[in-house]
């Protein structure tokens, strides 16, 4: 009988020591690391093919070269708004918190619209451009869609004033929002701003 009681106590202690938010953060980051390796493959292919045949794989359309800057600005703006929302939530100011979440959702919707069009335009520009730009455009588009879904989750819990759920959900979702903005900046720098020779020189200095 005493053994059964001890086993029951150990079972309860085991569950009490589990950190659900820590596990969720770990799961999210493992997924993001996997996504990073996959995205890096496409970005590396972009750089290699532009170096291999600049005339075939160079993007000359000014609109397609400028729109990625817009998506980056929107993603950075969204993250800044989310920090503002977090500050309101910390002070239990639900109405401003919900208002900022709504504004952030609009920013992400604008970003998704731009990225969706970019994805289609890259795919239709030429086979070469579609090969090196469309895959990363698809990745960025899907990440932005996930960001909106996560925002909808936070908005759902906040609508009922469920502070405990928002407090557990928001930091985990913030990992994805921050990653999305950071990856957009990196992809922009590698594919649009940094020249192929500069990127190759950097790789030679730091990876060999």
Which domains, and CATH codes, for the chain?
21-206 (1.20.120.80)
pLDDT, tens only, 123-172: 888 888 888 888 889 999 999 999 999 999 898 888 887 788 888 788 88
- Rounded CA separation 171/108 (Å): 18
pLDDT of residue 206: 64
Report pLDDT digits (tens) over 68-91. 888 989 999 999 999 999 999 888
**pLDDT score for 22:** 60
- Confidence (pLDDT) at 29: 63
pTM of this structure? 0.78
Nearest CA to 102 out of 78, 119, 68 is that of 78
């Amino acid at each position: 009988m005493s053994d059964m009681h001890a086993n029951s106590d150990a079972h309860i202690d085991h569950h009490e020591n589990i950190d659900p938010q820590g596990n969720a953060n770990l799961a999210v980051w493992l997924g993001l690391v996997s996504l990073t390796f996959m995205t890096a493959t496409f970005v590396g292919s972009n750089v290699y093919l532009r170096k291999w045949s600049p005339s075939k794989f160079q993007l000359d359309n000014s609109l397609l070269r400028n729109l990625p800057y817009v998506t980056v600005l929107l993603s950075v703006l969204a993250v800044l708004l989310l920090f503002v929302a977090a500050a309101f939530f910390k002070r239990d100011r639900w109405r401003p918190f919900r208002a900022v979440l709504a504004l952030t959702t609009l920013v992400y919707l604008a970003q998704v619209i731009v990225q969706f069009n970019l994805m289609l335009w890259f795919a239709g520009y030429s086979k070469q451009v579609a090969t090196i730009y469309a895959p990363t455009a698809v990745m960025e588009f899907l990440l932005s869609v996930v960001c909106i879904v996560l925002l909808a989750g936070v908005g759902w819990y906040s609508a009922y004033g469920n502070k405990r759920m928002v407090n557990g959900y928001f930091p985990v979702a913030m990992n994805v929002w921050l990653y999305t903005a950071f990856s957009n900046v990196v992809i922009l720098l590698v594919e649009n701003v940094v020249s192929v020779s500069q990127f190759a020189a950097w790789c030679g200095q730091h990876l060999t």
